[in-house]
Structure 1
Amino acid sequence: MELVNWFNELLAGNLIFTPQTLGYYWNGVVTTTQLVFLSLLVGLVMAVPLSILRGSKHRWIKLPIYAYTYVFRGTPLLIQLYIIYYGVVFVDGIQQTFLWPLLREAFYPALIAFTLNTAAYTTEIFHGAIKATARGEIEAARAYGMSDRMMMRRIILPSAFRRALPAYGNEVIFMLHASAIASVVTLMDITGAARFVYARYYAPFEAFLFAAAIYLCLTFAILYFFRFLERRLLAHLRPQN
Protein backbone atom coordinates (compact mmCIF):
# COMPACT_ATOMS: atom_id res chain seq x y z
CA MET A 1 0.00 0.00 0.00
CA GLU A 2 2.83 2.37 0.86
CA LEU A 3 4.50 1.53 -2.46
CA VAL A 4 1.31 2.43 -4.33
CA ASN A 5 1.01 5.74 -2.47
CA TRP A 6 4.66 6.55 -3.23
CA PHE A 7 4.11 5.77 -6.92
CA ASN A 8 1.02 7.97 -7.04
CA GLU A 9 2.89 10.87 -5.40
CA LEU A 10 5.75 10.44 -7.85
CA LEU A 11 3.34 10.40 -10.79
CA ALA A 12 1.61 13.52 -9.48
CA GLY A 13 4.96 15.25 -9.16
CA ASN A 14 5.87 14.36 -12.74
CA LEU A 15 2.62 15.91 -13.96
CA ILE A 16 3.92 19.25 -12.73
CA PHE A 17 6.45 19.46 -15.53
CA THR A 18 4.10 19.95 -18.43
CA PRO A 19 5.07 21.83 -21.61
CA GLN A 20 3.40 24.90 -20.12
CA THR A 21 5.37 24.87 -16.87
CA LEU A 22 8.60 24.05 -18.69
CA GLY A 23 7.87 27.10 -20.83
CA TYR A 24 7.72 29.19 -17.65
CA TYR A 25 11.11 27.86 -16.61
CA TRP A 26 12.55 28.53 -20.05
CA ASN A 27 11.32 32.13 -19.96
CA GLY A 28 12.86 32.39 -16.50
CA VAL A 29 16.21 31.17 -17.82
CA VAL A 30 16.09 33.75 -20.62
CA THR A 31 15.22 36.56 -18.20
CA THR A 32 17.91 35.54 -15.70
CA THR A 33 20.53 35.23 -18.43
CA GLN A 34 19.67 38.64 -19.88
CA LEU A 35 19.67 40.30 -16.47
CA VAL A 36 22.97 38.80 -15.32
CA PHE A 37 24.75 39.22 -18.66
CA LEU A 38 23.75 42.87 -19.15
CA SER A 39 24.53 43.83 -15.55
CA LEU A 40 27.94 42.17 -15.73
CA LEU A 41 28.72 43.74 -19.10
CA VAL A 42 27.79 47.28 -18.08
CA GLY A 43 29.35 46.77 -14.65
CA LEU A 44 32.62 45.67 -16.26
CA VAL A 45 32.66 48.71 -18.54
CA MET A 46 32.11 50.94 -15.49
CA ALA A 47 34.64 49.12 -13.31
CA VAL A 48 37.66 49.43 -15.61
CA PRO A 49 37.96 53.25 -15.48
CA LEU A 50 36.79 53.34 -11.85
CA SER A 51 39.49 50.87 -10.81
CA ILE A 52 42.14 53.02 -12.50
CA LEU A 53 40.84 56.22 -10.91
CA ARG A 54 40.57 54.41 -7.58
CA GLY A 55 44.37 54.42 -7.44
CA SER A 56 44.66 58.14 -8.20
CA LYS A 57 46.89 60.29 -6.00
CA HIS A 58 44.19 62.95 -5.82
CA ARG A 59 41.84 62.47 -2.88
CA TRP A 60 38.97 64.29 -4.59
CA ILE A 61 39.04 61.61 -7.31
CA LYS A 62 39.55 58.42 -5.34
CA LEU A 63 37.43 59.20 -2.27
CA PRO A 64 34.06 59.38 -4.11
CA ILE A 65 34.87 56.07 -5.82
CA TYR A 66 35.86 54.55 -2.49
CA ALA A 67 32.60 55.79 -0.94
CA TYR A 68 30.58 54.30 -3.82
CA THR A 69 32.23 50.88 -3.54
CA TYR A 70 32.02 50.97 0.25
CA VAL A 71 28.28 51.68 0.24
CA PHE A 72 27.33 49.12 -2.40
CA ARG A 73 29.56 46.41 -0.97
CA GLY A 74 28.48 47.14 2.59
CA THR A 75 24.72 46.98 2.07
CA PRO A 76 22.58 44.02 0.98
CA LEU A 77 21.71 43.81 -2.69
CA LEU A 78 18.08 43.20 -1.76
CA ILE A 79 17.91 46.58 0.02
CA GLN A 80 19.50 48.29 -2.99
CA LEU A 81 16.93 46.65 -5.26
CA TYR A 82 14.06 47.79 -3.04
CA ILE A 83 15.37 51.37 -2.91
CA ILE A 84 15.74 51.62 -6.69
CA TYR A 85 12.53 49.76 -7.57
CA TYR A 86 10.22 51.44 -5.05
CA GLY A 87 12.09 54.72 -4.58
CA VAL A 88 12.14 55.75 -8.22
CA VAL A 89 8.39 56.44 -8.04
CA PHE A 90 8.98 59.26 -5.55
CA VAL A 91 11.48 61.15 -7.74
CA ASP A 92 9.85 64.44 -8.68
CA GLY A 93 8.79 64.58 -12.32
CA ILE A 94 10.10 61.13 -13.23
CA GLN A 95 6.71 59.97 -14.46
CA GLN A 96 6.65 62.76 -17.06
CA THR A 97 10.02 61.88 -18.57
CA PHE A 98 10.91 59.45 -21.33
CA LEU A 99 12.50 57.16 -18.71
CA TRP A 100 9.23 56.27 -17.02
CA PRO A 101 8.08 53.60 -19.54
CA LEU A 102 11.35 51.78 -18.78
CA LEU A 103 11.57 52.36 -15.03
CA ARG A 104 8.02 51.25 -14.34
CA GLU A 105 8.98 47.79 -15.60
CA ALA A 106 10.65 45.54 -13.03
CA PHE A 107 13.49 44.50 -15.34
CA TYR A 108 15.23 47.86 -15.63
CA PRO A 109 15.30 48.84 -11.93
CA ALA A 110 16.66 45.35 -11.25
CA LEU A 111 19.24 45.85 -13.99
CA ILE A 112 20.33 49.18 -12.47
CA ALA A 113 20.63 47.69 -8.97
CA PHE A 114 22.58 44.66 -10.19
CA THR A 115 24.86 46.78 -12.37
CA LEU A 116 25.77 49.21 -9.61
CA ASN A 117 26.39 46.34 -7.20
CA THR A 118 28.60 44.27 -9.47
CA ALA A 119 30.46 47.38 -10.67
CA ALA A 120 31.41 48.15 -7.05
CA TYR A 121 32.77 44.64 -6.44
CA THR A 122 34.52 44.48 -9.81
CA THR A 123 36.14 47.87 -9.21
CA GLU A 124 37.73 46.60 -6.02
CA ILE A 125 38.79 43.35 -7.68
CA PHE A 126 40.54 45.15 -10.53
CA HIS A 127 41.96 47.81 -8.23
CA GLY A 128 43.61 45.13 -6.13
CA ALA A 129 44.95 43.41 -9.25
CA ILE A 130 46.37 46.69 -10.54
CA LYS A 131 48.08 47.38 -7.21
CA ALA A 132 49.62 43.90 -7.33
CA THR A 133 51.43 44.65 -10.60
CA ALA A 134 55.08 43.75 -10.21
CA ARG A 135 57.28 46.80 -9.82
CA GLY A 136 59.75 45.32 -12.27
CA GLU A 137 57.14 45.38 -15.04
CA ILE A 138 56.46 49.09 -14.44
CA GLU A 139 60.16 49.99 -14.31
CA ALA A 140 60.83 48.02 -17.50
CA ALA A 141 58.00 49.83 -19.29
CA ARG A 142 59.32 53.22 -18.18
CA ALA A 143 62.84 52.26 -19.23
CA TYR A 144 61.45 51.38 -22.63
CA GLY A 145 60.06 54.91 -22.88
CA MET A 146 56.35 54.18 -22.53
CA SER A 147 54.01 56.94 -21.39
CA ASP A 148 51.72 56.35 -18.43
CA ARG A 149 48.72 55.84 -20.71
CA MET A 150 50.53 53.37 -22.95
CA MET A 151 51.94 51.54 -19.94
CA MET A 152 48.47 51.23 -18.46
CA ARG A 153 47.02 49.95 -21.73
CA ARG A 154 49.76 47.53 -22.74
CA ILE A 155 51.35 46.38 -19.48
CA ILE A 156 49.32 47.04 -16.34
CA LEU A 157 45.75 46.30 -17.47
CA PRO A 158 46.47 43.05 -19.37
CA SER A 159 48.53 41.78 -16.44
CA ALA A 160 45.88 42.85 -13.94
CA PHE A 161 43.07 41.20 -15.93
CA ARG A 162 44.89 37.87 -15.84
CA ARG A 163 45.42 38.10 -12.08
CA ALA A 164 41.83 39.19 -11.47
CA LEU A 165 40.30 36.43 -13.59
CA PRO A 166 39.72 33.84 -10.79
CA ALA A 167 38.18 36.45 -8.46
CA TYR A 168 36.06 37.88 -11.26
CA GLY A 169 34.83 34.40 -12.13
CA ASN A 170 33.58 34.08 -8.55
CA GLU A 171 31.86 37.45 -8.89
CA VAL A 172 30.02 36.24 -12.00
CA ILE A 173 28.79 33.17 -10.12
CA PHE A 174 27.76 35.29 -7.14
CA MET A 175 25.76 37.55 -9.43
CA LEU A 176 24.01 34.55 -10.97
CA HIS A 177 23.00 33.31 -7.53
CA ALA A 178 22.07 36.82 -6.34
CA SER A 179 19.76 37.21 -9.33
CA ALA A 180 17.31 34.92 -7.52
CA ILE A 181 16.13 37.93 -5.49
CA ALA A 182 14.83 39.61 -8.66
CA SER A 183 11.59 37.68 -8.28
CA VAL A 184 10.67 39.75 -5.21
CA VAL A 185 9.94 42.70 -7.53
CA THR A 186 7.61 40.58 -9.71
CA LEU A 187 10.30 39.67 -12.25
CA MET A 188 9.66 36.23 -13.73
CA ASP A 189 13.18 34.82 -13.54
CA ILE A 190 14.09 31.21 -12.68
CA THR A 191 13.11 31.62 -9.04
CA GLY A 192 9.98 33.51 -10.05
CA ALA A 193 8.99 30.64 -12.34
CA ALA A 194 9.53 28.17 -9.50
CA ARG A 195 7.38 30.26 -7.17
CA PHE A 196 4.64 30.39 -9.81
CA VAL A 197 4.73 26.61 -10.31
CA TYR A 198 4.70 26.07 -6.54
CA ALA A 199 1.71 28.38 -6.10
CA ARG A 200 -0.18 26.61 -8.87
CA TYR A 201 0.57 22.98 -8.03
CA TYR A 202 1.48 23.21 -4.31
CA ALA A 203 4.64 21.20 -4.91
CA PRO A 204 7.54 23.13 -3.34
CA PHE A 205 10.13 20.36 -3.56
CA GLU A 206 9.67 19.64 -7.26
CA ALA A 207 9.37 23.32 -8.24
CA PHE A 208 12.39 24.61 -6.34
CA LEU A 209 14.59 21.55 -6.83
CA PHE A 210 14.14 21.92 -10.57
CA ALA A 211 15.10 25.61 -10.27
CA ALA A 212 18.15 24.62 -8.22
CA ALA A 213 19.17 22.16 -10.94
CA ILE A 214 18.96 24.93 -13.53
CA TYR A 215 21.14 27.24 -11.42
CA LEU A 216 23.59 24.37 -10.93
CA CYS A 217 23.88 23.78 -14.68
CA LEU A 218 24.44 27.48 -15.34
CA THR A 219 27.08 27.60 -12.60
CA PHE A 220 28.97 24.67 -14.10
CA ALA A 221 28.85 26.35 -17.52
CA ILE A 222 30.34 29.53 -16.05
CA LEU A 223 33.01 27.55 -14.20
CA TYR A 224 33.97 25.72 -17.38
CA PHE A 225 34.16 29.00 -19.32
CA PHE A 226 36.47 30.66 -16.79
CA ARG A 227 38.60 27.55 -16.46
CA PHE A 228 39.02 27.68 -20.23
CA LEU A 229 40.00 31.36 -20.07
CA GLU A 230 42.48 30.69 -17.28
CA ARG A 231 44.12 27.89 -19.26
CA ARG A 232 44.45 30.18 -22.28
CA LEU A 233 45.53 33.39 -20.53
CA LEU A 234 47.67 31.85 -17.80
CA ALA A 235 49.32 29.19 -19.92
CA HIS A 236 52.73 30.82 -19.43
CA LEU A 237 52.54 30.13 -15.69
CA ARG A 238 52.13 26.37 -16.08
CA PRO A 239 55.33 24.34 -15.65
CA GLN A 240 56.82 23.14 -18.90
CA ASN A 241 57.50 19.41 -19.17
Structure 2
Amino acid sequence: MSSRKSAPIVALHAVSFATPDGRDLFTDIDIAFGHDRAGLVGGNGIGKSTLLRLIAGELTPRSGTVERSGRIGTLRQSVQVDDRAPVADLLGVAEALGRLERLAEGRGSLDDAAEADWTLESRLAIALANVGLAGLDPARRLASLSGGERTRVALAALLLDDPDLLLLDEPTNNLDADGRAAIARVLAGWKKGAIVVSHDRALLRGMDRIVELSGLGARAYGGGYDLYAERKAA
Protein backbone atom coordinates (compact mmCIF):
# COMPACT_ATOMS: atom_id res chain seq x y z
CA MET A 1 0.00 0.00 0.00
CA SER A 2 1.33 3.41 -0.99
CA SER A 3 2.34 6.02 1.56
CA ARG A 4 1.84 8.91 -0.89
CA LYS A 5 0.41 12.07 0.56
CA SER A 6 -3.06 12.66 -0.76
CA ALA A 7 -3.80 16.38 -0.45
CA PRO A 8 -6.95 16.80 -2.54
CA ILE A 9 -6.57 17.96 -6.12
CA VAL A 10 -10.27 17.37 -6.71
CA ALA A 11 -13.01 17.04 -4.09
CA LEU A 12 -16.64 16.15 -4.80
CA HIS A 13 -19.22 17.26 -2.25
CA ALA A 14 -22.74 15.76 -2.36
CA VAL A 15 -22.51 15.44 -6.15
CA SER A 16 -25.55 14.07 -7.99
CA PHE A 17 -26.04 13.58 -11.71
CA ALA A 18 -28.93 12.44 -13.89
CA THR A 19 -29.17 11.50 -17.56
CA PRO A 20 -31.08 13.82 -19.94
CA ASP A 21 -34.14 11.55 -19.60
CA GLY A 22 -34.10 12.06 -15.83
CA ARG A 23 -32.55 8.74 -14.74
CA ASP A 24 -30.33 9.14 -11.67
CA LEU A 25 -26.80 7.91 -12.32
CA PHE A 26 -25.55 8.66 -8.81
CA THR A 27 -26.52 10.81 -5.85
CA ASP A 28 -24.69 12.55 -3.00
CA ILE A 29 -21.17 11.40 -3.88
CA ASP A 30 -18.53 12.61 -1.45
CA ILE A 31 -14.97 11.69 -2.37
CA ALA A 32 -11.59 13.36 -2.91
CA PHE A 33 -8.68 12.53 -5.18
CA GLY A 34 -5.12 13.62 -4.46
CA HIS A 35 -1.55 12.61 -5.31
CA ASP A 36 -2.26 8.91 -5.63
CA ARG A 37 -3.36 6.52 -8.36
CA ALA A 38 -7.00 5.51 -8.03
CA GLY A 39 -8.62 2.78 -10.10
CA LEU A 40 -12.30 3.58 -10.74
CA VAL A 41 -14.42 0.46 -11.12
CA GLY A 42 -18.13 -0.37 -11.31
CA GLY A 43 -20.75 -1.99 -13.51
CA ASN A 44 -21.29 -0.98 -17.12
CA GLY A 45 -23.54 2.06 -17.37
CA ILE A 46 -23.04 3.06 -13.74
CA GLY A 47 -21.47 6.38 -14.76
CA LYS A 48 -17.68 6.02 -14.51
CA SER A 49 -16.95 8.03 -17.66
CA THR A 50 -19.55 10.60 -16.60
CA LEU A 51 -17.81 10.97 -13.24
CA LEU A 52 -14.51 11.66 -15.03
CA ARG A 53 -16.22 14.33 -17.13
CA LEU A 54 -17.65 15.94 -13.99
CA ILE A 55 -14.18 15.96 -12.44
CA ALA A 56 -12.71 17.49 -15.62
CA GLY A 57 -15.37 20.22 -15.61
CA GLU A 58 -16.93 19.07 -18.90
CA LEU A 59 -20.27 18.36 -17.22
CA THR A 60 -22.13 20.16 -14.45
CA PRO A 61 -23.61 18.18 -11.56
CA ARG A 62 -27.35 18.33 -10.99
CA SER A 63 -26.52 19.19 -7.38
CA GLY A 64 -23.40 19.41 -5.24
CA THR A 65 -20.01 20.91 -6.00
CA VAL A 66 -16.69 19.86 -7.53
CA GLU A 67 -13.66 21.70 -6.17
CA ARG A 68 -10.41 21.68 -8.15
CA SER A 69 -7.02 22.91 -6.98
CA GLY A 70 -4.78 21.76 -9.82
CA ARG A 71 -4.55 21.22 -13.58
CA ILE A 72 -6.32 18.19 -15.04
CA GLY A 73 -5.37 16.24 -18.17
CA THR A 74 -7.67 13.71 -19.86
CA LEU A 75 -6.88 10.71 -22.08
CA ARG A 76 -9.96 9.74 -24.10
CA GLN A 77 -11.24 6.23 -24.83
CA SER A 78 -10.75 6.96 -28.52
CA VAL A 79 -8.45 9.51 -30.11
CA GLN A 80 -10.09 11.38 -33.02
CA VAL A 81 -7.47 12.83 -35.35
CA ASP A 82 -6.97 13.99 -38.92
CA ASP A 83 -5.00 11.19 -40.61
CA ARG A 84 -3.23 13.75 -42.81
CA ALA A 85 -1.84 15.65 -39.81
CA PRO A 86 1.66 15.07 -38.43
CA VAL A 87 2.34 13.45 -35.06
CA ALA A 88 3.39 16.90 -33.80
CA ASP A 89 -0.24 18.07 -34.10
CA LEU A 90 -1.53 15.35 -31.79
CA LEU A 91 1.33 16.13 -29.41
CA GLY A 92 0.35 19.81 -29.46
CA VAL A 93 3.89 20.92 -30.30
CA ALA A 94 3.78 21.65 -34.04
CA GLU A 95 4.03 25.42 -33.61
CA ALA A 96 6.75 25.21 -30.95
CA LEU A 97 8.85 22.78 -33.02
CA GLY A 98 8.45 25.01 -36.06
CA ARG A 99 9.77 27.94 -34.05
CA LEU A 100 12.85 25.95 -33.00
CA GLU A 101 13.43 24.82 -36.60
CA ARG A 102 13.31 28.40 -37.90
CA LEU A 103 15.80 29.51 -35.26
CA ALA A 104 18.15 26.60 -36.03
CA GLU A 105 18.08 27.54 -39.72
CA GLY A 106 18.68 31.22 -39.03
CA ARG A 107 15.18 32.24 -40.20
CA GLY A 108 13.72 32.91 -36.78
CA SER A 109 12.29 36.23 -35.68
CA LEU A 110 12.82 38.09 -32.43
CA ASP A 111 9.43 36.77 -31.32
CA ASP A 112 10.59 33.23 -32.09
CA ALA A 113 13.68 33.74 -29.95
CA ALA A 114 11.64 35.19 -27.09
CA GLU A 115 9.06 32.40 -27.11
CA ALA A 116 11.31 29.43 -27.88
CA ASP A 117 11.14 26.47 -25.50
CA TRP A 118 14.70 25.21 -25.60
CA THR A 119 13.87 22.20 -23.42
CA LEU A 120 11.06 20.96 -25.66
CA GLU A 121 13.01 18.54 -27.82
CA SER A 122 14.57 16.76 -24.85
CA ARG A 123 11.26 16.63 -22.95
CA LEU A 124 9.51 15.34 -26.06
CA ALA A 125 12.09 12.59 -26.51
CA ILE A 126 11.59 11.51 -22.88
CA ALA A 127 7.78 11.55 -23.16
CA LEU A 128 7.81 9.44 -26.33
CA ALA A 129 10.28 7.00 -24.80
CA ASN A 130 8.10 6.68 -21.71
CA VAL A 131 5.15 5.52 -23.83
CA GLY A 132 7.31 3.09 -25.82
CA LEU A 133 7.66 5.24 -28.96
CA ALA A 134 11.29 6.30 -28.68
CA GLY A 135 12.60 7.97 -31.83
CA LEU A 136 9.17 8.62 -33.36
CA ASP A 137 9.50 11.46 -35.88
CA PRO A 138 7.09 14.31 -35.01
CA ALA A 139 6.78 15.01 -38.75
CA ARG A 140 5.44 11.51 -39.46
CA ARG A 141 1.82 11.37 -40.65
CA LEU A 142 -0.73 10.05 -38.18
CA ALA A 143 -2.15 7.87 -40.97
CA SER A 144 0.93 5.67 -40.62
CA LEU A 145 0.22 4.91 -36.93
CA SER A 146 -2.07 2.25 -35.54
CA GLY A 147 -4.94 3.22 -33.24
CA GLY A 148 -2.95 1.97 -30.27
CA GLU A 149 0.08 4.03 -31.26
CA ARG A 150 -2.11 7.13 -31.53
CA THR A 151 -3.38 6.50 -28.01
CA ARG A 152 0.22 6.32 -26.81
CA VAL A 153 1.07 9.58 -28.62
CA ALA A 154 -1.93 11.21 -26.91
CA LEU A 155 -0.58 9.96 -23.57
CA ALA A 156 2.85 11.40 -24.41
CA ALA A 157 1.12 14.75 -25.05
CA LEU A 158 -0.35 14.55 -21.54
CA LEU A 159 3.06 13.79 -20.05
CA LEU A 160 4.48 16.85 -21.83
CA ASP A 161 1.72 19.01 -20.36
CA ASP A 162 2.50 17.57 -16.89
CA PRO A 163 -0.94 18.03 -15.24
CA ASP A 164 -1.54 17.55 -11.52
CA LEU A 165 -4.20 14.91 -12.15
CA LEU A 166 -4.42 12.42 -15.02
CA LEU A 167 -7.84 11.09 -16.06
CA LEU A 168 -7.55 7.88 -18.09
CA ASP A 169 -10.74 6.31 -19.45
CA GLU A 170 -10.14 2.67 -20.44
CA PRO A 171 -6.58 3.48 -21.57
CA THR A 172 -5.64 -0.10 -22.50
CA ASN A 173 -8.68 -0.82 -24.69
CA ASN A 174 -7.60 -1.92 -28.17
CA LEU A 175 -3.90 -1.84 -27.25
CA ASP A 176 -1.50 -4.69 -27.91
CA ALA A 177 0.75 -6.11 -25.18
CA ASP A 178 3.45 -3.48 -25.80
CA GLY A 179 0.90 -0.68 -25.55
CA ARG A 180 -0.59 -2.05 -22.32
CA ALA A 181 2.88 -2.39 -20.85
CA ALA A 182 3.68 1.22 -21.82
CA ILE A 183 0.55 2.51 -20.04
CA ALA A 184 1.42 0.47 -16.95
CA ARG A 185 5.00 1.84 -16.94
CA VAL A 186 3.77 5.43 -17.17
CA LEU A 187 1.38 4.96 -14.26
CA ALA A 188 3.97 3.10 -12.18
CA GLY A 189 6.31 6.10 -12.45
CA TRP A 190 3.64 8.81 -12.12
CA LYS A 191 4.19 10.85 -8.96
CA LYS A 192 1.10 13.03 -9.13
CA GLY A 193 -2.59 12.12 -9.15
CA ALA A 194 -4.33 9.72 -11.51
CA ILE A 195 -7.83 8.30 -11.86
CA VAL A 196 -8.03 5.26 -14.13
CA VAL A 197 -11.29 3.76 -15.37
CA SER A 198 -10.45 0.24 -16.46
CA HIS A 199 -11.49 -3.41 -16.55
CA ASP A 200 -7.83 -4.40 -16.97
CA ARG A 201 -7.05 -6.19 -13.72
CA ALA A 202 -3.31 -6.24 -14.38
CA LEU A 203 -3.35 -2.45 -14.62
CA LEU A 204 -5.62 -2.06 -11.59
CA ARG A 205 -3.26 -4.16 -9.46
CA GLY A 206 -0.76 -1.30 -9.62
CA MET A 207 -3.15 1.29 -8.21
CA ASP A 208 -2.78 2.81 -4.74
CA ARG A 209 -6.49 2.35 -4.12
CA ILE A 210 -9.67 1.24 -5.82
CA VAL A 211 -12.79 3.41 -5.88
CA GLU A 212 -15.99 1.48 -6.57
CA LEU A 213 -18.87 3.42 -8.10
CA SER A 214 -22.32 1.94 -7.50
CA GLY A 215 -25.90 2.95 -6.95
CA LEU A 216 -24.93 3.51 -3.32
CA GLY A 217 -22.26 6.09 -4.22
CA ALA A 218 -18.46 5.89 -4.30
CA ARG A 219 -16.48 3.79 -1.83
CA ALA A 220 -12.68 3.68 -1.60
CA TYR A 221 -10.62 0.58 -0.82
CA GLY A 222 -6.92 1.02 0.01
CA GLY A 223 -4.50 -1.03 -2.04
CA GLY A 224 -4.74 -2.44 -5.55
CA TYR A 225 -7.31 -4.66 -7.22
CA ASP A 226 -6.45 -7.91 -5.46
CA LEU A 227 -6.99 -6.41 -1.99
CA TYR A 228 -10.23 -4.84 -3.22
CA ALA A 229 -11.44 -8.23 -4.53
CA GLU A 230 -10.54 -9.89 -1.22
CA ARG A 231 -12.51 -7.34 0.78
CA LYS A 232 -15.49 -7.56 -1.55
CA ALA A 233 -15.48 -11.34 -1.25
CA ALA A 234 -15.32 -11.12 2.55
Task: Indicate the TM-score class for this superposition, using the shorter chain for normalisation.
Answer: under 0.3
Choose between structure 1 and 2: higher strand proportion.
Answer: 2
State the TM-score, normalized to the length of structure 2: 0.25
Quick check: which has more Rg, 1 or 2?
1
Choose between structure 1 and 2: higher helix proportion.
Answer: 1
